[in-house]
Amino acid sequence: MNITIVDYSSGNISSVINSFKEVAKDKVNIEVTADINKIKLSDKLVLPGQGSFKNCVEALKDISGLVDTLNEFAINNKKPLLGICVGLQMFADVGYEETETKGLGWISGKVSKIDNQNGKYKLPHIGWNQIDIVKDSKIFKNIENNAHMYFVHSYEFVPNDKNVISSTTDYSTKVVCSVENENIFGTQFHPEKSDKTGLRIIDNFINL
């Protein structure tokens, strides 16, 4: 099996790469590339996200054919894809970080700034928060409810269809932590920085 981590921006994704390689060991081949032909041949994709929504979307579009290839992979061929942090947020129709930016439109919704209630809650939201698992998601197999995950973000994905939400956390409001829609999975938290529980989520995705 080949799992490709899409390396499309200058953001530091070394922790994602290292965690997937640690969990995969020799069972699965982990490729890190933006090569469209290699992506097409992959069994599963990981879409990390470092930086702003606008910068990540623009970085995807800067690589000729990449967005079309991702659409073909996830929407047409319905192969498993995991988006992490901004990688999840890009599933949305539109994001409002820096300026209004069109997303991939895979899961209808928007990405907007967390309501910090006039400074009552610090932004960016950095640190460990418990997640409330609200849907029996495949990537949460053997994960206990209220497990702690590591977050770094100021913006949240607000999907139109609440049925895609698989977990939330309480930070000012109920912030969406993860989604599952058929073959498309996403986590707002960083599984690669969430200790053994996060590695288990990575393992669950690898074993889908």
Report, as residue numbers or ranges, the catalytic residues: 85, 190, 192
Q: In what order do the strands lie in the sheet with 101-102?
A: 101-102, 94-95, 109-113, 155-159
Between CA 25 and CA 10 the distance in angstroms is 26
Between CA 47 and CA 68 the distance in angstroms is 14
Long-range contacts from 119-126, C-beta under 8 angstroms, 24+ separation: 120/172, 121/171, 121/172, 123/154, 124/152, 124/153, 124/154, 125/151, 125/152, 125/153, 125/154, 125/171, 125/175, 126/151, 126/152
**Cβ proximity of 183 and 74 under 8 Å:** yes
Instruction: Give strand ranges (E) for 9-76.
Output: 29-33, 44-47
The phi, psi pair for 120, rounded to 5°, reads -65, -35
